[in-house]
Structure 1
Amino acid sequence: MYFLKVISHFDSAHYLRQYSGKCSNIHGHTWKIEVTVKGSKLNHQGLLIDFGDLKTLLAKVTDQFDHKLINNVDGFTDDELNPTAENLAYYIYNKFQVALPEHVAVHQVEVWESEKSCAIYSEER
């Protein structure tokens, strides 16, 4: 199995709904996003998928959050997902997966909200 990882970041704000702590107030992060994909077959060039294609795809998924209030982004409004790091990882995982070629799958998505705190989503057990 081959694994590739791309890393990006964006700046945005959020607040947690139905939370009784400081994070219920609007606050911002420089979010670091790491996406790892996997596959067992390389193409005729010896690539699983081009890193440039992965970076472009990651930008398409995350640009909607850059310099925005995540609570106002489709998928995270009042009756949808609470904009936790866990839910961001889940959301990015699913958006990324449907855009990949058939022979490549998302292995995991890491969403870092600080240098010391991240959430990881993977469908593997």
Structure 2
Amino acid sequence: MFELKVTTRFAAAHKLTMVGKQCENLHGHNWHVEVYVQGEKLDKGGVLMDFGIIKKELKEVINTLDHKYLNELEIFSEAPASSEHIAMYIAKELERRVNVDGIKVSRVSAWESENSCATYIAD
């Protein structure tokens, strides 16, 4: 099994309810995102997938979040804009865009600070 990791960053604001007093206020983060793509077979060039493809598609996904008030986005209309849901959204959206047989997005971590993150692990 091979696994690739690509990282990126974005800034956005949100507020969470029923989590904690500080989190219920409007606030922002400079999120650091780690995306892992996994597969068993390498291509003829000896790579699982071109990093450039992952980065391009990830950038498009991140552009839907960057410098936004996340609570106002349709993607968070039925689920809170928590780090957990952000990680899951990125994973599922990237999986949809990087549609290659034998390759899957295995996990995504959304770091809201340098010592706190949520990870979504795909099944």
TM-score by length of 1: 0.92
**Structure 1 segment 1-125 matched on structure 2, within 5 A:** 1-77=1-77, 80-100=78-98, 101-124=100-123
Counterparts of 2:9 and 2:83 in 1: how far apart (Å)? 13
- Secondary structure of the residue aligned to 1:34 is strand
- Counterpart of 1:108, as a letter, is R
1:12-66, Cα deviation, whole Å (9 max, x unpaired): 1000134441111110000011000100111111111100111111111111111
- Secondary structure of the residue aligned to 1:75 is helix
Counterparts of 1:68 and 1:88 in 2: how far apart (Å)? 13
Stretch of structure 1 that moved more, 10-19 or 87-96: 10-19
TM-score by length of 2: 0.94
Deviation at 1:90, TM superposition (A): 1.0
Deviation at 1:96, TM superposition (A): 1.1
Cα RMSD of the aligned pairs, angstroms, is 1.1
- Secondary structure of the residue aligned to 2:76 is coil
Give the percent of matched residue pairs that are identical in Structure 1 and Structure 2.
Answer: 39
Counterparts of 1:18 and 1:76 in 2: how far apart (Å)? 16
Counterparts of 2:92 and 2:45 in 1: how far apart (Å)? 27
Return 5+ residue gaps in structure 2 as ranges: none
1:78-102, Cα deviation, whole Å (9 max, x unpaired): xx11000011111111111112212
Counterparts of 1:26 and 1:83 in 2: how far apart (Å)? 12
Counterparts of 2:17 and 2:90 in 1: how far apart (Å)? 20
Aligned residues: 122
